[in-house]
Amino acid sequence: MENNALGRQLMVEYFNCSSARLNDVQHIRQSMLDAAQATGATVVGEVFHQFNPHGVSGVVVIAESHLAIHTWPEYGYAAVDLFTCGNEIDPYKGFEALKRALRSGHFEVREFLRGQITDRQHPLLHKPALAEADWMEH
């Protein structure tokens, strides 16, 4: 990742997925946790919801940001957001894990650099030690 960005965000559209897998909240939950692990992230929380008559939404909060999913089993489609911070976390590994887990036949990926701070003299530290008084002044 460029040293002037706080994070990378992959916005992924998975098409032609297994409808049964997209409508199984436990499968989606485990797949998202597996994707977080594949990125190298640290999971700190999760929330998943099964909709009636179909569909699942969920978020895995990671120390390095978040992974989110919304599924439309009736269309074989899932929208996923993989937002990671730091140079040690690889969102593309999470993308690959989900592609397999959802049995996606087609996908589109867009990558965005988030928090590009260009007016700095030194590379950004992703979790620098900074006293509260210092950051509150800004």
Domain ranges of the chain: 7-137
Q: Which of 17, 31, 66, 85 is flagged as catalytic? A: 85
**Are β-strands 7-15 and 77-85 bridged in parallel, bridged antiparallel, or unpaired?**
antiparallel
Q: Is 85 assigned a catalytic role?
A: yes
Residues 63-111 pLDDT 10s: 999 999 999 999 999 999 999 998 889 999 999 999 999 999 999 999 9
Q: Which of 70, 104, 122, 126 is flagged as catalytic? A: 70
Q: Which of 17, 65, 66, 104 is flagged as catalytic? A: 65
Residues 112-138 pLDDT 10s: 988 877 766 665 555 554 545 554 555
Residue 46's contacts (CB-CB under 8 Å, 6 or more residues apart) are 29, 32, 33, 58, 59, 60, 61
- Rounded to two decimals, what is the model's pTM? 0.84
CATH architecture of 7-137: 4-Layer Sandwich (3.60)
Q: Is 65 assigned a catalytic role?
A: yes
Q: How far is CA 109 from CA 10, 11, 14, 38, in A?
A: 6, 6, 9, 17
* Cβ proximity of 98 and 28 under 8 Å: no
